[in-house]
Amino acid sequence: MSEKHRETIVCPGCGAESSFTVYDSVDGSNVYLKEKVLDGSLFTFTCPSCGRKEQISYYMLYYDSGKRLMLSFLGGLDAGGPSPAAVFFREHGELLGQLDYIQRIVNDQNSLREKVMIFERGWDDRIVEVIKVTYQKKIAEEHPELKLDAIFYAQGKNKEDLLLFYSGGKVAAAIDLKQNDLYRRAVELYGPELPPLLADKTQGIDGAWAVAFLNKRP
Ligand SMILES: [Zn+2]
How far away, in angstroms, is 47 Cα from ligand 1 center?
A: 5
Q: What is the pLDDT along the chain (218 residues), one digit of tens a residue?
A: 678 999 999 999 999 999 999 998 999 999 999 999 999 999 999 999 999 999 888 888 899 999 999 998 876 545 555 666 666 666 777 777 777 899 998 888 889 999 999 999 999 999 999 999 999 999 889 988 888 899 999 998 888 999 999 998 899 889 999 887 999 999 999 999 999 999 888 889 999 999 999 999 88
Nearest residue to 38 via CA among 159, 120, 129: 120
Query: CA torsion sign, 127 to 109 to 201 to 215?
Result: positive
Max intra-chain CA distance, the chain: 60
Residue-range domain boundaries for the chain: 3-120, 125-216
* DSSP string covering 15-54: --EEEEEEEEEEETT-HHHHHHHHTSGGGEEE-TTT--EE
State the pLDDT at residue 86.
64
How far away, in angstroms, is 1 Cα from ligand 1 center?
A: 32
Three-class SS of residue 163? strand
State the pLDDT at residue 85.
60
How far away, in angstroms, is 94 Cα from ligand 1 center?
A: 41
pTM given for the model: 0.88
State the pLDDT at residue 74.
77
How far away, in angstroms, is 22 Cα from ligand 1 center?
A: 18
